[in-house]
Structure 1
């Protein structure tokens, strides 16, 4: 009997120790939405491509909770039934997480999420960045009385934007929060077109985080950029023009061709279009072709924009917006976006605008 008691005691102690060990990876998220009575909360997690629902729970009198295990912090969000925005990304990681928001008319206030080390570090970054960003917005609203005043405002904006990138750099250099570093790399550097630089930023995380969704997302971007690196063959495609005819990239073989990704709904694109018109008028007779690839979903709006902006070159569209296969094939992360191609269909450069694009076009044409 004594041996049996000792055995039971050993088993109970072992289970206790194991359960204590499990708490190392255990998280509990306690949520409160002031003014919200009853509905559903959906916990979504980034999988490297998109946010997918991994759990759901009822909200009763504004309160809800989620619990589980995480070996590494995971980028997550909570979607509340009846409200689409605002959504704030946060890190789901081991520990106690507090999530607070409140009903504000037809919307919810921006959630405040805190409690775990990586999330608290993200909050510090967000707070410091917000201060700089608000200063930038204030300067952009200033209507300069003269050119000197406008130039001074722009100089101040440039300095603030530089400080914002220095802030990113300082947080990504903190070894204490590697997953936060991966997130900041994804958010701030994947729009660059330099695959080698991006790959070098990833190297410190390859050993321990190669399977993390954020790492995989950045690695996917590196692979995309390598596909459109100078010297690579431009991915072929065929699409309908405004007139309904099929236009193929191969139709432009033997000519210096600029693929211009844009959309009628894109303000920066419409602002850039006069420069594209000038570029075409200056260099078309010398051998430059432009092929506009629209990310529109409405043919009517697309056609009106082409006519209004006087875009007299060839245009195509598949009306799939960001789901268009060309978005991935040409590593398009935003518009306007350009890809310059040589006479053999090889990529010369991508992502150029203004004087940089003009110089590269002249170089390609041998001017």
Structure 2
């Protein structure tokens, strides 16, 4: 259930005027108690690799410091200080802001005077709270599974499903309710990094953003990401939830051809699992899939694994595939053309990264995608009505 996110935020675009006023520039008055004179404090940009580049520097004198500058658009920066580890995200905007630094822990920094920063902090706090509740409930659900009390399992599962849905909805609802707030643009960027997201909803949300967001530098960049998302969505309509899963067939380890349709006929729920012997995350997830299969196979669960082994650096792709099946104790159906991402099945399902899963109902309709860990367990139990 863990999921780690770097949360950043920004504010709605300022309105400029010809004469210089406080709205044309930012002034950050800071306090740094018990910090020696001459210590430098920085506001930094951060690139996609996490590297920091200072954009403004202030020197502490008499436990005080001041940042001054101007922005075209609100901007997320990271506060750092000499000899103090860590960094603290601050949404910088034109106007007057106040900052109090705790030299022992930058995470205790207090920023006031910015409604947008307040919105960011409120979002971040609620997000962290959601994740904390999810992890705690996930542990309760796992305890229930090991206890094998069906009534307790059902109760804890319902709680987990409710929390999961609430946590999933929160970022979408925030953006929908704040189309004029740059915080929404930052959340949008965060959501684009998720593999399992509602692309149509993301497209609608971006289109509803205020023009000030869309025409900012970040908005222009995210517009390109949204357009790619739109093209991918259109190209993958046949793979959306609710659609019939495309039929495929492939050779199993013994060379016998196995088709998806014949696997579907054997059970009530079918998981199509794209993986490979060389894929670390796949191998790490396999014990969880083995546990789920062993738990629910007799109740109607079927799995067909599609291996994307066959990359050039593998000396013997087939042997690597066979060894992984044996080592990980994968006792369900397995097929592979040993053609890496050029596998025709992978192309049919537009697989760009693994692990990737499709969960199908008894009719072969797609009901969920890319679920792992407790989320996969929850969906299987729901479909099997346990």
- 1:107-186 counterparts in 2 under 5 A? 108-142=106-140, 143-144=143-144, 145=147, 146-175=149-178, 177-186=180-189
Q: Compute the displacement of 1:75 (Å).
A: 2.1
- Do 2:203 and 2:230's aligned partners in 1 also have CA atoms closer than 8 Å? no
Q: Compute the displacement of 1:67 (Å).
A: 1.5
The TM-score with structure 1 as length reference comes to: 0.57
- Do 1:36 and 1:102's aligned partners in 2 also have CA atoms closer than 8 Å? no
Indicate how the Cα distance of structure 1 residues 158 and 309 shifts in structure 2: closer, same or farther if over 3 A, else same: same
Matched, 1:78 2:79: yes
Equivalents in 1 of 2:173, 2:303: separation in Å?
44
Equivalents in 2 of 1:153, 1:68: separation in Å?
52
- Do 2:71 and 2:93's aligned partners in 1 also have CA atoms closer than 8 Å? yes
The TM-score with structure 2 as length reference comes to: 0.55
The residue matched to 1:291 in structure 2 has which SS?
coil
Indicate how the Cα distance of structure 1 residues 193 and 356 shifts in structure 2: closer, same or farther if over 3 A, else same: farther
Equivalents in 2 of 1:31, 1:308: separation in Å?
58
Q: Compute the displacement of 1:49 (Å).
A: 8.5
Alignment match, 2:344: 342
Matched, 1:22 2:21: yes
Equivalents in 1 of 2:154, 2:208: separation in Å?
40
Q: Which runs of 5+ in 2 are unaligned?
A: 1-16, 237-258, 261-271, 295-301, 312-320, 367-386
- Do 1:73 and 1:179's aligned partners in 2 also have CA atoms closer than 8 Å? yes
Render the CA deviation track for 1:116-162: whole Å, top value 9, x for unaligned: 12112222323334444433333234443445334423322332333
Alignment match, 2:99: 99
Q: Compute the displacement of 1:57 (Å).
A: 2.0
Q: Compute the displacement of 1:93 (Å).
A: 0.8
Question: CA RMSD for the aligned pairs?
Answer: 4.9
Q: Which runs of 5+ in 1 are unaligned?
A: 1-16, 233-254, 294-302, 318-338, 362-367
Q: How many equivalent residue pairs?
A: 285
Of 201, 204, 208, the residue aligned with 1:204 is 208
- Do 1:46 and 1:76's aligned partners in 2 also have CA atoms closer than 8 Å? yes
The residue matched to 1:173 in structure 2 has which SS?
helix
- Do 1:101 and 1:108's aligned partners in 2 also have CA atoms closer than 8 Å? yes
Equivalents in 1 of 2:84, 2:274: separation in Å?
39
Indicate how the Cα distance of structure 1 residues 208 and 63 shifts in structure 2: closer, same or farther if over 3 A, else same: same
Indicate how the Cα distance of structure 1 residues 88 and 230 shifts in structure 2: closer, same or farther if over 3 A, else same: same
Q: Compute the displacement of 1:292 (Å).
A: 8.3
Equivalents in 2 of 1:18, 1:181: separation in Å?
29
Q: Compute the displacement of 1:77 (Å).
A: 1.7
Alignment match, 2:218: 214
Equivalents in 2 of 1:315, 1:276: separation in Å?
26
Equivalents in 1 of 2:170, 2:346: separation in Å?
43
